[in-house]
Amino acid sequence: MQLYKEQTLKIHNTLSNSKEIFQPINDGHVGMYVCGPTVYSNVHLGNCRTFMSFDMIFRYLKHLGYKVRFVRNITDAGHLENDADEGEDKIAKKARLEQIEPMEVVQRYTVDFHNTLQKFNFLHPSIEPTATGHIIEQIEIIKDILEKGYAYEINGSVYFDVVKFNETNDYGKLSGRKLEDMIANTRALTAQSDKKNPQDFALWKKAEQQHIMRWPSPWGDGFPGWHLECTAMSTKYLGESFDIHGGGMDLKFPHHECEIAQAEASNGKSPVKYWMHANMLTLNGKKMAKSTGNNILPNEMFSGENKILSKPFAPSIVRFFMMQAHYASILDLSNDALLASEKGFHKLMDSFATLDNLETGTISGFEVSEWKQKCYNAMNDDFNTPILIAQLFDAVKHINLIKEGTISITDKDKTQLQQYMNTFVFDILGLENNNSSDADSDKLSGTVDLLIQLRNEARSNKDFATSDKIRDQLAVLGIQLKDGKEGTTFSLS
Ligand SMILES: [Zn+2]
């Protein structure tokens, strides 16, 4: 039997602002869409946190036995500098500044994004579509919305008519806004704007002569509005209605609100059953921003090359640090917090070796089955990883008590504990045991010590050909032997 039939998962749905029992639209299958990065700069550590939260969610849904189709897009066109459909395209701007092709910008930062996620041990999404790969689908949706009367064409651009939509639907239901308030609180449109109302948003923008990223359309050369790509790609790969849509809290409005409007206008259906939003990562208590210098890149974490850090931190430590907070809470990053996480991480990793070497007895002083269910309960409660981690440390405490002989554990319970520690730590939290480098150096010194011993034997047998060969071949590999009074030692060059 699949695990999801035994475990009751609850998800905090941002749309209803309440925790709901998770019931996918199609039994046993989950469709999940997460808004991906706009690839015009190195991926931000705050964005990594959002994507990591959904990586953990993807892992847990899979663990429960669901067949998950996880779509995370790459925005490689259409994302303008500000939300009011104004300013330059972020990618085109970078291309202009660096005097390279927009697709070179896209390639460079898509590679950076993938490399960073790989260091953090992310699973690959099932599909990673791009906006430029779905221009035709976007044009089709615009035609459909125009036909249904929820959009208007003007001077080669097409805008979504928010006021018209709000007559029959509820624009603002996700972010808890009312259109009347929005209208009352916005300044009038400038003379050069084509929009009927400031709340209207672009589905298609006419490309001015200097705009390099452009495609032909029924309305002339142009490019799609940013919100439209997610509607096009989620509908194409997950259907008109799907289970989970995720993203950062900052995307709730206007991006996700506009996605709902586009989908409802074109097919009359609410597109998403559970909306999920991951919260922000702050740095030393303040919002991260490049402009103020209160900012840190993932690679600076790994190399330690940032003034706020006292040392480098391995990706698994950073991942463990992020998993120590609930995805919907604000998390503050600081050197002290990372040092504390590092200590906790090593304590957790050390417990695996201790657990493997435990001697077993006839009774168990630790209720492993009960503990296991507490771990599931934590994850079932809206993916509460901090509570899960508290349970993992409860297991660590008991592993140490067993080692000291204060309590005992049966063979069956030990096997079960090993299995579930592995499941929760590595499969679900996605951590990696970075102590492997220590283990590798142990193996290396053991091997070289053995060769030194063989060389000594050859020398005492006056077999200098063999002893020289060992020394010279090791030197070729960068291992220098040094003969001294205390015997032979080695160093790596
Ligand atoms: Zn999106």
What's the 420 CA to ligand 1 centre distance in angstroms?
35
Q: Do residues 295 and 172 share a domain? A: no
What's the 33 CA to ligand 1 centre distance in angstroms?
8
- Quick one: pLDDT at residue 290? 77
Up-side HSE of residue 477: CA atoms within 13 Å toward CB? 12
Cα–Cα dist 360/79, whole Å: 60
Count the domains in the chain: 3
What's the 36 CA to ligand 1 centre distance in angstroms?
7
Residue 408 CA to chain centroid, in angstroms? 39
- Quick one: pLDDT at residue 238? 98
- Quick one: pLDDT at residue 493? 65
Tens-place pLDDT, residues 2-46: 999 999 999 999 999 999 999 999 999 999 999 999 999 999 999
Query: In this model, does residue 101 exceed pLDDT 70?
Result: yes
At 273, is the pLDDT very low, low, confident or very high (cuts 50, 70, 90)? Answer: very high
More confident of the two residues 89 and 109: 109
What's the 431 CA to ligand 1 centre distance in angstroms?
27
What's the 416 CA to ligand 1 centre distance in angstroms?
41
Q: Do residues 28 and 115 share a domain? A: yes
What's the 142 CA to ligand 1 centre distance in angstroms?
17
Our CA angle for 311, 329, 64, nearest 5°, is 95
Q: Do residues 440 and 417 share a domain? A: no
Q: Note whether 306 and 300 are within 8 A (CB).
A: yes
What's the 461 CA to ligand 1 centre distance in angstroms?
74
DSSP 307-366: TT-SS---HHHHHHHHHTS-TTS-EEE-HHHHHHHHHHHHHHHHHHHHHHTPPPBSS-SS
At 440, is the pLDDT very low, low, confident or very high (cuts 50, 70, 90)? Answer: low
The CATH code of the domain that includes 295 is 1.10.730
What's the 158 CA to ligand 1 centre distance in angstroms?
19
What's the 73 CA to ligand 1 centre distance in angstroms?
8
Say if residue 412 is exposed, middle or buried (CB neighbours under 10 Å; 0-12, 13-18, 19+): exposed
- Quick one: pLDDT at residue 441? 66
What's the 256 CA to ligand 1 centre distance in angstroms?
7
Q: Do residues 106 and 223 share a domain? A: yes
What's the 34 CA to ligand 1 centre distance in angstroms?
7
Q: Do residues 218 and 264 share a domain? A: yes
Q: What is the residue range of 371's domain?
A: 282-428
Cα–Cα dist 117/121, whole Å: 6
Task: Report the interhelical angle of 385-404 vs 335-356 (nearest 10°).
Answer: 50
What's the 355 CA to ligand 1 centre distance in angstroms?
44
DSSP 140-187: HHHHHHHHTTSEEEETTEEEE-HHHHHHHS-TTTTTT--HHHHHHTSP
Q: Do residues 447 and 398 share a domain? A: no
Q: Note whether 131 and 77 are within 8 A (CB).
A: yes
Q: Do residues 357 and 475 share a domain? A: no
67 beta partners = 29
What's the 37 CA to ligand 1 centre distance in angstroms?
9
Q: Do residues 15 and 92 share a domain? A: yes
Cα–Cα dist 22/10, whole Å: 5
296: left (phi over 0), alpha (psi -120 to 50) or beta: beta
Query: In this model, does residue 319 exceed pLDDT 80?
Result: yes
Q: Do residues 66 and 152 share a domain? A: yes
Sole residue written with tokens 């600076």: 300
- Quick one: pLDDT at residue 410? 98
Query: In this model, does residue 395 exceed pLDDT 80?
Result: yes
Cα–Cα dist 381/377, whole Å: 6
What's the 226 CA to ligand 1 centre distance in angstroms?
8
Query: In this model, does residue 435 exceed pLDDT 60?
Result: no
At 80, is the pLDDT very low, low, confident or very high (cuts 50, 70, 90)? Answer: confident
What's the 370 CA to ligand 1 centre distance in angstroms?
40
Cα–Cα dist 398/394, whole Å: 6
Cα–Cα dist 412/415, whole Å: 5
What's the 270 CA to ligand 1 centre distance in angstroms?
16
What's the 233 CA to ligand 1 centre distance in angstroms?
9
Tens-place pLDDT, residues 83-99: 777 778 899 999 999 99
* CA distances for 292 relative to 179, 283, 286, angstroms: 34, 12, 10
Average pLDDT of the residues of the chain: 94
What's the 128 CA to ligand 1 centre distance in angstroms?
13
At 480, is the pLDDT very low, low, confident or very high (cuts 50, 70, 90)? Answer: confident
Q: Do residues 381 and 468 share a domain? A: no
12 beta partners = 19
The CATH code of the domain that includes 185 is 3.40.50.620
The highest-confidence range among 203-212, 385-394, 469-478, by mean pLDDT, is 385-394
What's the 465 CA to ligand 1 centre distance in angstroms?
69
What's the 462 CA to ligand 1 centre distance in angstroms?
74
Tokens of 150: 């929820």
Spell out the long-range contacts of 415-419 with Cβ–Cβ below 8 A and sequence spacing 24 or more: 416/368, 416/369, 416/372, 417/355, 417/366, 417/368, 417/371, 418/355, 418/356
What's the 134 CA to ligand 1 centre distance in angstroms?
14
* CA distances for 134 relative to 85, 228, 492, angstroms: 20, 10, 53
Q: Note whether 408 and 362 are within 8 A (CB).
A: yes
What's the 255 CA to ligand 1 centre distance in angstroms?
6
152 beta partners = 159
Q: What is the mean pLDDT of residues 159-168?
A: 97
Percent of the chain with pLDDT over 70: 97
Among 50, 55, 62, 30, which Cα is nearest to 327's? 50
What's the 230 CA to ligand 1 centre distance in angstroms?
5
Tokens of 328: 């919907």
What's the 239 CA to ligand 1 centre distance in angstroms?
15
Out of 227, 246, 278, a domain closes at 278
At 187, is the pLDDT very low, low, confident or very high (cuts 50, 70, 90)? Answer: confident
What's the 182 CA to ligand 1 centre distance in angstroms?
22
What's the 254 CA to ligand 1 centre distance in angstroms?
10
Out of 411, 428, 445, a domain closes at 428
What's the 234 CA to ligand 1 centre distance in angstroms?
9
Q: Do residues 159 and 228 share a domain? A: yes
| Rg of the chain over all Cα atoms, to the nearest angstrom | 28
Q: Note whether 288 and 332 are within 8 A (CB).
A: no
What's the 30 CA to ligand 1 centre distance in angstroms?
18
What's the 445 CA to ligand 1 centre distance in angstroms?
51
What's the 429 CA to ligand 1 centre distance in angstroms?
25
* CA distances for 450 relative to 284, 447, 469, 475, 490, angstroms: 50, 5, 15, 16, 12
At 438, is the pLDDT very low, low, confident or very high (cuts 50, 70, 90)? Answer: low
Out of 278, 304, 327, a domain closes at 278
What's the 389 CA to ligand 1 centre distance in angstroms?
31
Among 404, 399, 360, 395, which Cα is nearest to 374's? 395
Q: Note whether 71 and 34 are within 8 A (CB).
A: yes
Strand order in the sheet with 281-283: 286-287, 281-283, 331-333
What's the 247 CA to ligand 1 centre distance in angstroms?
7
What's the 219 CA to ligand 1 centre distance in angstroms?
24
Among 246, 287, 299, 277, which Cα is nearest to 113's? 299
What's the 303 CA to ligand 1 centre distance in angstroms?
31
Q: Do residues 69 and 165 share a domain? A: yes
Say if residue 478 is exposed, middle or buried (CB neighbours under 10 Å; 0-12, 13-18, 19+): exposed
What's the 25 CA to ligand 1 centre distance in angstroms?
21
Q: Note whether 234 and 245 are within 8 A (CB).
A: yes
